[in-house]
Structure 1
Amino acid sequence: MAKLRIKKYVNQVKNSKMFGKWYGRVNYNETLSTDDLCRHISKHGTIYTSDVVKGVIERFVLCFEELLHEGYKIKLDGLGTFSLKMSTWGAESAEEFGVQNIKHLQVKFNGDKKKFSEYASPTFMKNARFEIEPDASEKEKEQGENED
């Protein structure tokens, strides 16, 4: 099973209560394109070639945006629900509130909460395998030991 690589970093915000403490963040490999994803899906024993998978994904993306803009929530079973999140500025009255009060609109995602969902937080965490990468000082130490 693949491992999720974790990179260590130290909080360097001097006025923070957590200054000097070490934390971890995901060390991403790269961002996969739609083509990359389609090739990956087609390698998993599907009868569909990557170009057919790509056609379905491209159509999905178009419909996804259209449906969100129409006010629908979109639930993908086993993955989660997508909806829109809006932030607005307040108005003095209902009559004064309008489009000009909308700050931003973004896509919100809530992972599937089913008991056995692969993406529910406890299950997802339980199934993950981690690899903590050495920080720069540990790498230098390892290199020094390997040179001897």
Structure 2
Amino acid sequence: MALYTKKKNKGGNPLLISVTVLGSSGPIRFVVNEEQLVAAVIDTALKSYAREGRLPVLGSDLNGFLLYCPEVESDALSPWERIGSVGERKFSLCKKPKSDGMEGNNGRRSSEAIYRKGTSGIWKAWIRKSLTLKISSH
């Protein structure tokens, strides 16, 4: 009978995280170390996304994306921040905007506004469509 010895985990605890890519169907789930940097998580998410053959095609340049934590009202996470420091396990990934109006706050507000506008636009369209449905009388 072999004895089970627990290995010491020098790099932190593993976390199962969920990353939703804006415009894609369903989240991507994978395990990361809580000490991993946000940049490494973005890279892993892009590789998993491409491996699964999801659409729209995003590419592999991790510098062109921002990671948000929708549960916590904040700006995009810094690429040098540790993923475990956020305290959440659900994230959203979206492309950085191509506009020139990104000066001042490293583009954080611009991309956050685009993310918020994209999700609220869907709800507004659904509400507008629901209100315009005509109820037929018998």
TM-score category (smaller protein): under 0.3
Larger strand share, 1 or 2? 1
TM-score (norm 2): 0.26
The structure with more radius of gyration: 1
